[in-house]
Amino acid sequence: MLAILLATAIAPGTYTYNATLAGANVGTSTLIVKSVGTSTVIDEKVTGTISGSGASASDTLVLGADLAPLTYQMNATEDGSPLKDSAQIENATANVTDVHGKSASFDLQPNAKHFVVADFGLFAGLLPLPAQMKAWDDAPVLVVVPMLGRSAPLAPDATATVQRPASVPATDVALVFAGEAPFTIWYDPATLVPDEIDVEAQGLTVTRQR
């Protein structure tokens, strides 16, 4: 078990990503990954624009020894207005508070044994996905989106065929997700760190500074 956990650990360090929407620069995200005891802590700071308005955000995602999310908190400012949301996961239930202060609870579905967290415009929940999928044998998960107070099933699509972008290293592996908002993560199989995230339907590309 220890060997499996070590093989799927996310290397501590600082990772910076640039986001473009339809070719236009919309934001920069810097993530710091730390090992704290048996947990992995991901701290993120983002600056960019939302619908033409200036925005900034910071969020923290804490993962357990098995890479399952434990807590998530986000604080942001959009056009001068404060926003915040959060999630706390205990056993098979995720308790979420959205940006309007409304609370909701989500239980794991029969075919999903783990939660993952994803918030729009933020990447702390996407960074660990390759490591999580390797640790969990590509099993289906339930993704919670604290900003919207929603959840949705999510699973890798092993049958999908995608074209490698010119910006992606030749050794990278594609992790493709179907569902309501399909996306592809290109990651380094040696480190499990994403190099590029493509949300094709939205024209959004997130590229790691290397």
Asked if residues 168 and 195 have their Cβ atoms less than 8 Å apart, the reply is yes
pLDDT on residue 18? 95
Q: What is the dihedral of CA 91, 143, 117, 2, to 10 degrees?
A: 60
Rounded CA-CA distance 30/32 in Å is 7
The C-alpha atoms of residue 176 and residue 185 are separated, in whole angstroms, by 6
State residue 4's pLDDT score: 45
Say if residues 91 and 99 touch (Cβ distance below 8 Å).
no
pLDDT, one tens digit per residue, over 48-97 is: 876 566 789 999 999 999 999 999 999 999 888 899 999 999 989 999 99
| Residue 180 or residue 137, greater confidence | 137
Position 1 pLDDT exceeds 70: no
Convert the pLDDT of each residue in 107-127 to its tens digit: 998 899 999 999 988 999 999
Q: Write out the two tokens for 208.
A: 């790691």
- Note whether 47 and 27 are within 8 A (CB): yes
Measured CA to CA, the distance from residue 8 to residue 95 in angstroms comes to 26
Please, which pLDDT band fits residue 2 given cuts at 50, 70 and 90? very low
- Are residues 18 and 207 in contact, defined by beta-carbon separation less than 8 angstroms? yes
pLDDT per residue over 14-42, tens digit each?
999 999 988 888 899 999 999 999 999 99
Position 85: which residue type? D
pLDDT (0 to 100) of residue 137: 95
Average pLDDT over residues 158-167: 90
The pLDDT value given to residue 3: 44
The per-residue pLDDT for 75 is 96
Residue 18 token pair:
């640039």
Read off the pLDDT of residues 164-207 as tens digits, 9 standing for 90 and up.
999 999 999 999 998 777 899 999 999 999 999 998 878 899 99
So what's the pLDDT on residue 7? 52
142-157 pLDDT, tens digit per residue, is 999 999 999 999 999 9
